[in-house]
Structure 1
Amino acid sequence: MTLALLDFVFRWAHLLFALVWIGHNYANVVKHPTFTPLNGEASEEARTAALEARMQREHGTFRYASLVVWGSGMGMLWYRGWLGDALLLEGPHAVIGMGAWIGTLMLLNLWLVLWPHQQKVLGFVPAPMEERVRCSRITFLSSRTNTILSIPLLFFMAASGHGLHLF
C-alpha cells in the first residue's frame, strides 16, 4: 500500500508541477510572441528590490518545478518497472521513453543554457550591457525550444497510455 501511495504522489506531483513549468513557457509565448531585444538604455535604478525579489521567486519556482516534474516522472517509471526499457527505447515502453528523453533534454536546456544566460539578462549576475543583450536572444530561443519540445513530449506521454497500439 505504501508503494501505491508513492505512485499517487509521483503522478500528482508530475501533473501539478508540469502545469507550473510548461504553463510558464506557454504564458511567456502569449505575453511575448516575438523577440524583443533587451533595451540597453534602461537604467539599473529603475529596478526595485521588490521587483527583483518577485523575479527571483518566479524564476526559482519555474526552475525547481522542472526538477520535480523530471524526478516524479522518473519515479513513476521506476515504480512500474519501466525505467530501463523506457530509457533504452525498447518494447512498448519506447513511446513513454521518447517523452522521458524529450523531458530530459528540456530540463538540461533550462538549467544549462537558459538559466545561466537569464541570470545575466535579469542582472542577477553582473555582466556588461553588450553581454546582457546577447544573452537575451539566447534565452528567447532556449525558452521557445522548450515550448516547442513540450508538444511532442505531451503527445508521447498521452500516446503511451492512450494510443500505444498505433506504435
Structure 2
Amino acid sequence: MAKILGNFHYALVIGAVLLLLAMFGLHAADMGGDYLTPWMVFFHVLNGILWIGLLYYFNFVQIPTMPKVPAELKPAVGKYIAPAALFWFRWAALGTVITGLIVAWLKGYAHEAFTFQPGFKVIGLGMILGLIMAFNVWFIIWPNQKRALGIVEADADTKAKSATTAMIFSRTNFVLSFPMLYCMVTQLYLAK
C-alpha cells in the first residue's frame, strides 16, 4: 500500500477514479445539461480548498516557523518547498476565481452579485474579497516572492523588502479569508 499511496501521481489517479465512480454511481441519471453547474461548483470548492489551505499553511506554519529554522536549512525551504507551494498557491487562486465566475454565470447571478442587489449582497461581498485576494496573489505576493526567494535577481536589501511585502500581503489575504469564506458559505442561508 505504501508503494501505491507513497507515489503522489498514483494517489491522484486513484482519487480521480474514485471521484468518477462516485459521480457516475450516484448521479448517472442526472448527467444532463444541468450537471455542469454542480460539476463547476465541485471544481470551485476543490480549487478554493487548495488555495486557502496553502494560504493557511503559509500563515499558520511557514511564516511563524522560518525564524526558528537553522540557517543551514533555510535554503532548502526557499529553494524547494516555498516555490512548489507558491506554484500551487497562485494557480489554485486563479482556478478558484475562474470556476467561481463560471458558477455565478451558470447560476445566473453574476451581475446581481457584483452590483450587490438584494439577495446577492453576501455572495457579492465574498466574490469581491476573493478577487482582491487573487489580485494580491498574482500581482503583489508572487512578484515579491520571486525576488525574496532568488528566483529573479535582486540585491540583499531588495530581497528583504520583498519578503516583508509578500508577508504583509499574505497576512492581508489571511485576514480577508475569514469574511470571504463566511460570505461564500452562508450565501445559501443568509442571502440578503
User: In 1, distance between residues paired with 2:174 and 2:102?
Assistant: 23
The answer as to whether partners of 1:35 and 1:137 remain within 8 angstroms in 2 is no
Aligned to 1:27: 57
How big is the shift at 1:52? 3.3
Aligned to 2:148: 121
User: In 1, distance between residues paired with 2:101 and 2:33?
Assistant: 15
Runs of 4+ in 1 over 4 A off after TM superposition: 32-37
Structure 2 counterpart SS, 1:91: coil
User: Which residue of 5, 23, 37 corresponds with 1:7?
Assistant: 37
User: Which residue of 7, 11, 18 corresponds with 2:48?
Assistant: 18
User: Which residue of 148, 155, 159 corresponds with 2:182?
Assistant: 155
What is the letter of the counterpart of residue 102 of structure 1?
Answer: L
CA root-mean-square deviation: 2.5
Greater relative contact order (Cα 8 A, min sep 6): structure 1 or 2?
1
TM-score by length of 2: 0.74
Q: CA, structure 1 residues 60+33, in 2 after alignment: closer, same or farther (shift >3 Å)?
A: closer
Number of equivalences = 159
Q: CA, structure 1 residues 93+3, in 2 after alignment: closer, same or farther (shift >3 Å)?
A: farther
Provide, for residues 39-75 of structure 1, a one-character-per-residue CA deviation record: whole Å limited to 9, x for no partner. xxx69xx847x97355433211111001111111111
TM-score by length of 1: 0.84
Structure 1 counterpart SS, 2:187: helix
Q: Which has the larger radius of gyration?
A: 2
Aligned to 2:28: none
User: In 2, distance between residues paired with 1:153 and 1:3?
Assistant: 30
How big is the shift at 1:161? 0.4
User: In 1, distance between residues paired with 2:133 and 2:32?
Assistant: 31
Aligned to 1:89: 116
- Percent identity between matched residues is 27
User: In 2, distance between residues paired with 1:3 and 1:143?
Assistant: 39
User: In 1, distance between residues paired with 2:34 and 2:103?
Assistant: 10
Aligned to 1:75: 102
Q: Any stretches of 5+ residues in structure 1 without a counterpart?
A: none
Q: CA, structure 1 residues 32+54, in 2 after alignment: closer, same or farther (shift >3 Å)?
A: closer
